[in-house]
Structure 1
Amino acid sequence: MTFEPEELGQSRADLAETLKTLRKRAGFTQTRLAQRCNMSQTKISNIEGAKLTPTLVDVELILRALDAPPDLVAHVAVLARTANTEWQDVWSQRRTGLEKKQNELAGFERSSTEFRYFLLSMVTGLLATPEYVRASLAHIPGDHSKAIARKLERQSVLYETSKRFTFILTEQAVRWPFLPASAMAMQVDRLVSISLLPNVRLGIIPLEGHMPSAPLNTFTIYDTRIATVETQTGAMVFRDHRDVSAYLDEFAVHESYALFGGEGRERLSEWADQFRS
């Protein structure tokens, strides 16, 4: 069996078509391939139909079952990793409506049970007061009342005790004067209040002491399946286990510097008082 690596594309559809072509060239039915991979025939069908993005482990199992040569395995693995990474630019989000992005985030929240948020420069919507949420969208032209309402509605997920949340905020994220001082005091008070929820761990990293690692981006990890990384012009969505693991490792480093519990609340209260004064 031969397959030219340069024929490989860069999208989920290309990966699906590649795997389908390889199976047919090997003379396998979907059922036979599913049996050799210990998968269901439905899963193989969904992968080949681009309805399901296979993980690298899935792809490796399929290629091994098809006795693919090592050089082809390497090329298809690269294709699989690309298919498991998504770029969402802010301009596309604005064109399709910001509430659509909120619905996507709500979907992540419904399907996950453990959440890790590293917040470098701003408070995330789940922790924000209505004033903060409105201010976060004020620079974007148009009517965003639906997106604001959806953001605030999503906050109810914090009260689902079957889900666990860990938020780590830098001092800059907490204290950046995004609102007038009195409103910022209320925002910091909200952080204190949320930190008392039984399923929430909220930590802060003060700008003091020695921290040899320097974070570059805000990011969120859903279970151990998905990591989303925010930039000025959009967000990357990673589903490859190696990318997600890298952000889990980074989160653990930041977590080691954070103040949690009473110590964190004491510092937050000091900052709220400074805004009030």
Structure 2
Amino acid sequence: MTFEPESLGQSRSDLAQALRSERKRAGLTQTRLAQRANMSQTKISNIEARKLTPTIVDVELIVDALGADGPVATQMLALARAANTEWQDDWASQRRGLDKKQNELARLEVVTAEFRFFLPTMITGLLATPDYVRASLSRNSGDMSRTVAKKLERQQILMDPSKHFTFLLTEQAVRWPLASPIAMAMQLDRLVSVSRIPNVRLGVIPLDIVGPVSETPLSVFTVYDRRMVQVETHTGALILRDHRDVSTYREDFERYESHAVFGEACRSLLDDWASAFTRQRK
């Protein structure tokens, strides 16, 4: 199925309407459908009113309860997959203000217990020094001071013992000279410090550890619990909530994780690379 970014929001409305119409065609009340699908009547009502986006599993249960099959079932499942996919383009974020995006991420982080960050291109804001954050925003126009402050403020979540973080960075991401040599050396020192936080697991995949071609890193992504994946591109981010997508990215993460070094071996590499940056300024 091909997704058109501008159509993803409409799919939620189309799905709600399709489910409501099919229920009425089947001659079922919301209460009767809820009983058949092993759901609450309130959940059925909220789905049809677009107050709740159903998961793929929810829609599969409803379709079975309705006795729908063939093209009707195929259409509703396709709508469900689209409804669980969201596109956030960078231009819209810039128009709203990049600091607003930081607020959204902060709210998401509050309700998430387990994080998996795969970082093949650059260091994420939760791990970044102020100089690195400013350098990462240099291509954006206007005053970025509020966005920088919000990014740094979000780092406090790392100290919450109820949260668990795994960061996987490629050597390229760590050593890419986004800032000055001294700023990069300080950034790598920051990674060493973060790696010692008890609830943080930070690993690096060295370039001399080559896996199969099928495991070639393709994009930055973050897995939030088992609920959601955010896949970043050069022009925006794709939000995936389908459990099959989430499971696939978790499996990808585990494969990449098997090539990473952690603990003292990781810190030794980071120290060596920091020293190399320090030598460059002499």
Judge same fold: TM > 0.5, yes or no.
Answer: yes
Task: For structure 2, list consecutive stretches of 5 or more residues without a partner in the other structure.
Answer: 1-8
Residue 173 of structure 1 corresponds to 173
Corresponding residue for 2:216?
214
- Written as runs of structure 1 = structure 2, the 5 A alignment for 1:47-66 is 47-66=47-66
Q: Distance in 1 between matches of 2:92 and 2:41?
A: 35
- SS of 1:267's equivalent in the other structure is helix
Deviations 1:225-269 (A, max 9, x none): 101111111110000011111111111110000000111011111
- Quote the offset at 1:10 in angstroms: 5.4
SS in 2 for 1:118: strand
Aligned to 1:104: 104
Measured against aligned partners, the alpha-carbon deviations of 1:109-142 in whole angstroms (never above 9, x if no partner) come to 1111110000011100000011111111121111
Show the counterpart of 1:250. 252
The one-character-per-residue Cα deviations of 1:69-122 (angstroms, maximum 9, x if unpaired) are 233212211110011011111111111111221122112211111100000111
Letter of the aligned partner of 1:273 in structure 2? Answer: S
Structure 1 unaligned regions, length at least 5: 1-8
2:4 maps to none
Give aligned pairs, total. Answer: 269
Aligned to 2:5: none
Inter-partner Cα distance in structure 1 for 2:31 and 2:148: 47
Task: Find the aligned partners of 1:135 and 1:40 in 2 and give their Cα distance.
Answer: 50
Q: Matched residues in 1 for 2:173 and 2:197: separation?
A: 20
Q: Give the deviation of 1:209 after TM superposition.
A: 3.5
Return the letter of the residue paired with 1:253: R
Residue 16 (structure 2) aligns with: 16
Quick check: 1:196 aligned with 2:196? yes
DSSP 3-state at the match of 2:64: helix
- In structure 2, the residue matched to 1:276 is 278
- Counterpart-to-counterpart distance in 1, 2:29 and 2:184: 62
Mapped partners of 1:153, 1:41: distance in 2: 41
Any conservation in 2 of the 1:185–1:272 contact (CA below 8 Å)?
yes
Instruction: Name the residue aligned to 1:140.
Output: 140
Q: Could you list the runs of 4 or more consecutive aligned residues of structure 1 that deviate by over 3 angstroms after TM superposition?
A: none
> 1:62-81 counterparts in 2 under 5 A?
62-81=62-81
Alignment match, 1:233: 235
TM-score (norm 1): 0.94
Which digits, 9 at most, give the CA deviation of each residue in 1:166-202, with x for residues without a partner? 0000001101001101110110000000000110100
CA–CA distance in structure 2, aligned partners of residues 250 and 118 of structure 1: 10
Quote how far apart the aligned CAs of 1:145 are: 2.0
Q: Identity percentage over the alignment? A: 61
Confirm or deny: 8 A CA contact 2:114 2:165 kept in the other structure: yes
In the alignment, does 2:119 pair up with 1:119? Answer: yes
Q: Which secondary structure state, in structure 1, belongs to the residue aligned with residue 258 of structure 2?
A: helix
